[in-house]
Every structure is written in C-alpha cells, then in structure tokens.
Homo-oligomer: A and B are copies of this chain.
Amino acid sequence: MNATETQQAIDARDTVIIYSGGMDSYTLLREELSKGRLHSSLSFNYGQRHLRELNCVARVCSQFSLPFSFIDLRAVAAVAMHRSVLTVTQRDIPVGHYAADNMKETVVPNRNMIMLSIAIAYAVSHQLKRVVFGAHAGDHTIYPDCRPEFVQTMRVLAQQANWHPIELEAPYLHFTKGEILLQGMTFGVEREDYKDTWTCYKGDSTHACGVCGSCTERLEAFASVGWTDPIPYLPKGK
C-alpha cells in the first residue's frame, strides 16, 4: 500500500462493535474485520459474575490489533440495573433451555438500550458511521431488548438523537447460533478460532458448565454444524 491507499483504508474504518467476548459477537467482529470497516471495539462490565469473557475480548482484539475499550457500568448497575440473577451472586443461575420461563431471571433491566446508547455516543464522539452488535434469533423469547421491534425503533432513534446520524445494525438478528457459525465459515472463521470465546454464565475460571441456558444453546449450535466446541467443559453432573 502506498500512503494514499493506507489513508483510504483508515478512512474506511467507520464502525464500532459491541463485543461481549461470546461466540456471536466474535463472529460479527471477524465479519467486520474481513470487510475492513472495523474502527474499534467496546465492551461493558455491568457486574457479570466473572470476567472470563472480558479476557477473551482483550486477547482477540490484541490478536487483530483492534483498539478496544472497557466501560465499567458497575456503579450504574448498582443503582439502576439490579433484580437480575446475572448480577446477584447469591442466587443460582437457572439451568436448561433459554425458552424456559425461568430464563427470564437472567434479564438485566434495559441492558441493551444502555449499551447501545453509549456505543452511539462513542460513534458520534469518534465521527464514525456505524454501530454493530450481535443480537440473534435465539435471544428473542427471553430478552425483550433483542427483539426485531426493539432494534428497529433503536435504529430510528440512532438517526435522530444527534446532529451526526448513526447507522445501527444487528446483522444476525434473524440467525440462530448455528447459522452464525455457518456465516462465519463463509469468511474463513475456523472451529479452533472459537477457543477464544466464552459464553457460559457460570463462574469456573477454566471450564464452561455445559448446562446453563447459554451453554445449552452453544453446544446445540456446534452440534448442528458438525463441529466439536473447542473450549473445555466440566464433566456432566459437576
């Protein structure tokens, strides 16, 4: 690349991603990197039970030389985002499939609106054009702020809220987790790449539990494409 081409490549980086460290946003990060549009990554700590997924963020962003920021929302969460099992360690994480009613206990009040509003502010501050995030079809039944109608209203708001309009995109909104893996394959993501992703809601520092709603859906997704998940799982019944 000559100097002009280098500058054009930098100018093309018009997108910030909300990156949780999980498999969905990891795949989206790889897709945006493959298009040359990714400017940087934003991650949030709202008092999740463990920071294993944030370690994945740091490792992956370093691997791809992508600037990344962590935003600590624990003070906000303490005042305004409580009553959720995800941030209350005294209660048990429900096990089983996401569709089950008890999974509603994992909902953090207004989480996506808060994260998206900060990501939009970030995009305005850095004069970017786009915010992308990895909401997918499996989330709809349990998380109201992953439903298509929420995302559509948020897209309108992102155009109105600042003099600098921001495009909001959730390209996997109608994909299952299995379809997200298939999508990743089309731009070269391999099975082993997912070793640096973390989905489990439980707290073991080295092994996923294999039984929480998040693990259940992840394992079904890998099985659906004929892959073995490359991360370590606790033996069944532990």
Closest chain B residue to A152 by CB distance? B160
Tell me, yes or no, whether A64 is within 8 Å of chain B by CB: no
| Total copies of this chain within the assembly | 2
Of B121, B153, B160, the residue contacting A109 (CB under 8 A) is B121
Most buried by B among A83, A117, A149: A117
Residue numbers in B under 8 Å from A85 (CB-CB): none
Residue numbers in B under 8 Å from A113 (CB-CB): 117, 120-121, 157, 161
Interchain residue pairs with CB less than 8 A apart (9): A71-B75, A80-B125, A81-B121, A82-B125, A83-B125, A109-B121, A109-B125, A147-B160, A153-B157
Tell me, yes or no, whether A79 is within 8 Å of chain B by CB: yes
Tell me how far the C-beta of A138 lies from the nearest C-beta in chain B, rounded to whole angstroms: 17
Q: A-side binding surface: helix, strand, loop or mixed?
A: helix
Tell me how far the C-beta of A47 lies from the nearest C-beta in chain B, rounded to whole angstroms: 13
Tell me, yes or no, whether A162 is within 8 Å of chain B by CB: yes
Tell me how far the C-beta of A79 lies from the nearest C-beta in chain B, rounded to whole angstroms: 5
In the complex, per-residue mask of A108-141: 1 if CB is within 8 Å of any chain B CB, else 0: 0111111011111110110000000000000000
Tell me, yes or no, whether A34 is within 8 Å of chain B by CB: no
